[in-house]
Structure formats: structure tokens, C-alpha cells
Structure 1
Amino acid sequence: MGPLRGVRVLEFAGSAPTAFVGTVLSGLGADVVRVDRAGAQEGAFGPNPLTRGRRSVAIDLKSRDGVERALSLAAHSDVLVEGFRPGVAERLGIGPQHVLGQNPRLVYGRLSGWGQSGEWAERTAHDLAVLALTGALETDPETGSPVLPPSAYLSSFAGGGMAHAQALLAALYERSHSGRGQVVDTALSDGAALVTTLVHQWRSAPGVHTVTDAPHYAVYACADGRYMAVAAIEPRLYQALLTQLDLLGVPDLADRDDPAQWELLRSQIAARFRLHDSGHWVKVFSAVDAGTVPVLSAEEAAHHPQLAARNAFLELDGGRQVAPASRFGRTPVAAPGPSPVPGGQTGEVWDEWVR
């Protein structure tokens, strides 16, 4: 089931962003086979949503026989995904020059920290370093605080895995016209920079204030130490916010259109939120659209009525996981299967794909 039904994806186990690509494509209905190293341990860290919904084969890529088996599987694949450092796949004998000759329709995906080119290509690329170098951690000169939080999601998954999955799908679409595959090179740094497009635009003009600096787009502490997130950008939302906070008509209320007054306004809003605990504010804002919502824990998010209505979470592998994101009207996707035992389907996949 799903729009990618019939598409075969060969995923070489490695980094978390690469695994996320496999999860995304599997969630869209692709037949994803994960190549685990021989002797890999099952569930070392418990059920892993980054390996769910696919089958696993065990291959020793350091042996000639293992490389031959990998090449045989690649010859029967539509997409190959690897997250090795530049040059590793070539040294193993499974690089593009080894694979595309026998399967010219293959989309060969390469996902790495800094990409396949440039003087940093072989450097280690952890999330914090990628975010720092791409401008995502630029500090606000007025407050000294980062403009965006140092979240791994921005580089590893949004900038890396999701961008790579999108590029692979684009290459598959192009192949439907040309009949030819190609190499797709995605860097976490490229994707993270793309995700921060507006940040770069905003910061390119000295003295320009943006909504991310504004007091009506911020997080505020409540009396119990929990937080409420305020995203009251539109005037109607802002009016509703002030109404619920009982700030309408306050004589010295700061002007939200004047950045010079933002700190005063921020302090006024913060003082109101500190008057009551989060439960009070959740109740107050639940019946009105004021762009103001509670900051939830992962456990609380899974039970929120809106997310529950969308079936955003599912029970899998004995625990809760996030469901595939998009809904398809004509080609619905099936619920993802559990994480495979490393190498558990080696014979099955070989018989189905190769023999």
C-alpha cells in the first residue's frame, strides 16, 4: 500500500539521518531493505522507530562475497541510500562506479555531514557543528541568546533526512521520463542552511527586527514552572491574547509595532502568565484562537485531542511511535511494521529480489 508501492530501496545501515530516510520512504509504501552488518545486535537501545517498516539482511561488506551480494541486491533496486563518509563506499567496492554500470536506472543516494565535495567533506559533522556553521545558531546581538535552539531535528532530520528523501523522490520522477538513474548528493549542512532560509534573509538587513524577536512570538513561564507558547502574529490573535490576559485597556501597554517597546511589552505579558499555573492558562486559551498553546511533553503530546484526531501516534514494538505524516486519498499507506531483527530476512529478500 502507499504511493511508493513497488519501489525497492536498499538502505545501508549507518547514521540516524540515513535511517530516517528509510523510515520516510517505507512510510510511503516503498519496500525498504536494510543492510545490517553481520553480527549486529537487535534492540541494543530498545525498539527503534528509525528501523521500522522494513526487512533486514546481514552482509559483511569487508568480505568479497559480502560485496558481491550487496552489488546483486543493488542491481535489483530502484534506490540505494548510504551514509558513509566520502570515499568509504568506493573503498568497499559499492560506490556509484561499481553499481550504476550494472543498474543505470538506479538512484544512488549519498547523505553525509558536509557532502561529497569541499575541504570539510571528510570531517566529522555532529548536529551542533552543522547548525553553528550554517547560521542556525546565530546569537541575537541585543540579548546574546541564540536565535534558534540547538536542535538535532533541524540538521539531522529536517535538513538531512527529509531533504534527502525529497531529492530521491525527485530523481525517481525524473527517471520516469529519462529512464536513467543518477547520484544524489545531500549534505546535512546544505539542508540545514536551506531550512534557515528566512533566518538568513532576516539577518542580512542590519537593524531589521523580525517576528522571532517579538514578545508576541515567544514562550512564557507560568506559576507552576510550566510554559505557554505565544504565536499571536495576526492582529486578531494578538487582540484575543490581550483579552484573555486582561491587558486590553491597560494605560501603559507597550506598542507592539515599536521594537523599542518590545522589552516592556514582554515584561507585561510575562507578569500576567506568572499569576497562574499552566492548567489555568490551558483552560483559558482552549476555547479561543489566540495562537497560544501549552508547551507539552512528548507524553502529553501523544494524548492531545488534535494529534489524536489525526492519528499522529501509533502503538508499535510495544511502545508509542510517531505515525507517517501525510494522508493519501487514493493510495493510503499501511501502518508501519515493526523493527526487523538484524539479518532476519536475509534469505527471504535474496530469494525475492535476486533469484
Structure 2
Amino acid sequence: MALAGVRVIELAGLAPAPFCGMILADFGAKVIRVDRTRVAMAMDTQARGKRSVAINLKTSEGVAVLRKLCVQSDVVLEPYRKGVMEKLGLGPEELLKENPRLIYARLTGYGQTGSYASTAGHDINYLAMSGLLSKLGRCGENPYAPLNLVADFAGGGLTCALGIVLALLERTVSGKGQVIDTSMVEGAAYVGSFVWKSRRIGMWDQGRGENMLDSGAPFYDTYQTSDGKYMAVGAIEPQFYRQLLQGLGLDAEDLPPQMSFSDWPELKRIFRERFASRTQADWSKVFDGTDACVTPVLSFDQVSSHPHNQERGSFIKDSTGDESPRPAPVLSRTPAEPCLARDPIIGEHTRLVLEEYGFRSADIDQMQAAGVVECNAAKAKL
């Protein structure tokens, strides 16, 4: 796999950092998640392919253990607020002195500098600060955050993973590591570069929800079908729009021009009534194989059984039967090989990992007895 041999220490967190770690693990990195001790259940639902070590960082001995893991690894991934790692004596300056090849990835909402650097927040706050949230939502409604995808996962986890891979690539030339400052505000804004840079060509002149790509256009929207499901329409180009009308059984001569903005509400009404006359399955049969850019809005229950996704193997099941997306993109020679085993329990691999990093078995026993680390064996299900 592409990242085979890369050792990553991921400090346990929520959402974006675990996603970043899962990406690295999916593509071959050895990712060790460092959990707190005395925690009943891991909150990391993106632990695929990771191992768990439980360390009590409230003890100086635990901090020393984590230091040893970090300086013997390629990447440290930390999601804490600014200053937390420095208080432990594990900031990037300290660790890079011991291992100049270390890549230290910091994943936070507002970044390591600026007046908000130490401020709490969530995806919706970072999205708001990026400017993008002001553009998201229906006409006449409040701005609307699309789940927590844009800042947490696209601007955060995925952008951080890209930064790590870039730093690993650069290290092959310089031999040196570096610090990655991933701000979810800036990551979200960067993901929205198209919106920013296309303003000058008039794509976003109208209010929120009144432009071509934000649900303002009748040919770029979703429509409910007679069975309560939905179809997605993206027929922007004239040749695609003609096929949309043909599939709907409409004559262009009887309708306002496609780009007559003032007539968009009337066109939406016509399309809404037409789509509501048949089921999602009916419309799928009409539009499959055409270039009308009309597709069913698939639920999680439907998505893996759709013929296209089935043929590509786009979704996988783990050993417990849970379904999730296959890692993307697909590499021709070194594709991802996602682990299909269950997620690790907290501290399941403490002993194994510490032994790999040079700790003696007797020392591990002593640290476990003192509450410095926690070793939890997985219980067999009978």
C-alpha cells in the first residue's frame, strides 16, 4: 500500500482527527491511537485499521511513554486546543529536537495563531467563519450547515491527511520533518475556492438559494416523487436540459427559456408536479442511460445495492456486518486495503505496541500496576 511503513501516533479526539487517521490507515500506515485510561467506551467511530494504546497523561511516567512513541514515529496527529501539548512538554519544538524527521500535524478549528486560536467551536462555527455558511441554504431561510461535512471532514480531516502526505513526500528530498497547522476554518474556505473565485463571473450575484448551483435553478435541484422519495436534477448544459425535458414529457416550446431567471419559480412548479406523478423507480428507469443528469437520491439502505455501486464495489462490510464507503481514490498499483476487523477496544494493543517500541514486558507490568498504562484484552464472544 502507498503508506506502508509509515508509523503514526494519533491522539484520540472526535470527528476530523479520527477521519484523518483512518485515511492514513486505509492506505497502509500503522496508526496507533493513544487513548486515555479509565474510559468505558471509545467515541472514535472511524477506528478502522488502528491499534489502541491507553496512557494516563496525568502522570509524568505516562507523558514519558508518549514521548518515546512520538519520537520513534513518522507522524504525530494531535487535535487538542492550542497549548495543551506544550504544557505536557510534547510540543513540536521539543519533539522535533529529538526526531528532526518527525511530521507534527496539528488539527484545530481556528489554527495555532489568531485571536480565536484557543476558542472552542464546532463545524458550524468554523463554516460560519470561512464565509461559506452565508452561501448555504434555501431562499428566504436561515443559512444551513450540511451535516458537519465541510469543516470537520473536508476542511479538517481530509485536508490534514493531504498535508501529511505532502510533508512525507517533501521529507524524501530534505530528510526533514515539519509542523502542519490545519485550521478547519481555512480548510473549509479552501474547499470553497470555486465559490470564492467564480464570484467575478456572476455565478453568485443573487441572494442565498437563488443562484444556479444553490437550489435557485429549476434544473439543479431535488424533487419529491409519488412514493415520498427524491430525484436529483443537474441538467445545466442545454443538451442535458433538452434530455431532461424529453424524459419529463415536456415540450420546450411550451415552456419559458431555460435561463429566464424570472420564470424559474414557474418552471420549478411544473417540474415539481411532473416528478410527483411517478415513483422514484419509475423515473430511474426513464433517465438511466441518458445524459439528462437525473439520478435517484439514494438512502444509506439503497446505496450499496444500486447496480453502479455494486459493480465498482464502492461500499464494504466489516466483520460485524457494518457497511461503510470503500476508501477513495482507487490507486491502480497500490490501492487501499481497508481492515475489515472490528474496531479496537481502548487499550487493546497497549502491551503489543509498547513492546514494539522497545519497552520490556516487566516495565509494562509495572506501569500497568501503577496506572500509567492500561492493557485491555478483547473478550471473545461465545
Q: Under TM normalisation by the shorter chain, which class is it?
A: over 0.9
Q: Equivalent of 2:331, from 328, 331, 334?
A: 328
In structure 2, relative to structure 1, the CA distance for the partners of 1:43 and 1:78 (3 Å cut) is closer
Q: CA RMSD in A?
A: 2.1
Q: Name the structure 2 match of 1:228.
A: 231
In structure 2, relative to structure 1, the CA distance for the partners of 1:247 and 1:304 (3 Å cut) is same
Q: Do residues 242 (structure 1) and 240 (structure 2) align?
A: no
Q: Name the structure 2 match of 1:27.
A: 26
Q: Equivalent of 2:269, from 267, 270, 294?
A: 267
2: CA distance between counterparts of 1:238 and 1:43?
A: 49
Q: Equivalent of 1:162, from 146, 151, 158?
A: 158
Q: Name the structure 1 match of 2:60.
A: 64
Q: Deviations over 1:292-345 (max 9, x none)?
A: 111111111122121222222111141112221122222233232431121111
Contact 1:12/1:83, CA 8 A, preserved across alignment:
yes
3-state SS in 2 of match to 1:100: helix
In structure 2, relative to structure 1, the CA distance for the partners of 1:111 and 1:249 (3 Å cut) is closer
Q: Name the structure 2 match of 1:151.
A: 147
Q: Equivalent of 1:102, from 92, 98, 111?
A: 98
How many Å apart are 1:207 and its aligned residue?
A: 3.2
2: CA distance between counterparts of 1:13 and 1:162?
A: 17
TM score, norm. by length of structure 2: 0.86
Q: Do residues 343 (structure 1) and 347 (structure 2) align?
A: yes
2: CA distance between counterparts of 1:156 and 1:78?
A: 24
The farther-off stretch of 134-143 and 330-339 is 134-143
In structure 2, relative to structure 1, the CA distance for the partners of 1:122 and 1:340 (3 Å cut) is same
1: CA distance between counterparts of 2:329 and 2:139?
A: 38
Provide structure 2 residue ranges, at least 5 long, that are not aligned to the other structure: 360-382
Q: Deviations over 1:95-145 (max 9, x none)?
A: 112211111100000000111111111111211112222222225899224
- One-letter amino acid of the counterpart of residue 342, structure 1: I
Please identify runs of 4+ aligned residues in structure 1 that moved more than 4 A: 139-142, 146-149, 202-206
Q: Equivalent of 1:207, from 183, 190, 205?
A: 205
Q: Name the structure 1 match of 2:315.
A: 313
- One-letter amino acid of the counterpart of residue 301, structure 1: V
Contact 2:230/2:297, CA 8 A, preserved across alignment:
yes
1: CA distance between counterparts of 2:338 and 2:18?
A: 18
In structure 2, relative to structure 1, the CA distance for the partners of 1:249 and 1:192 (3 Å cut) is closer
TM score, norm. by length of structure 1: 0.92
2: CA distance between counterparts of 1:332 and 1:200?
A: 33
In structure 2, relative to structure 1, the CA distance for the partners of 1:179 and 1:190 (3 Å cut) is same
2: CA distance between counterparts of 1:338 and 1:325?
A: 20
Q: Name the structure 2 match of 1:280.
A: 282
Tell me the percent identity. 39
2: CA distance between counterparts of 1:142 and 1:342?
A: 43
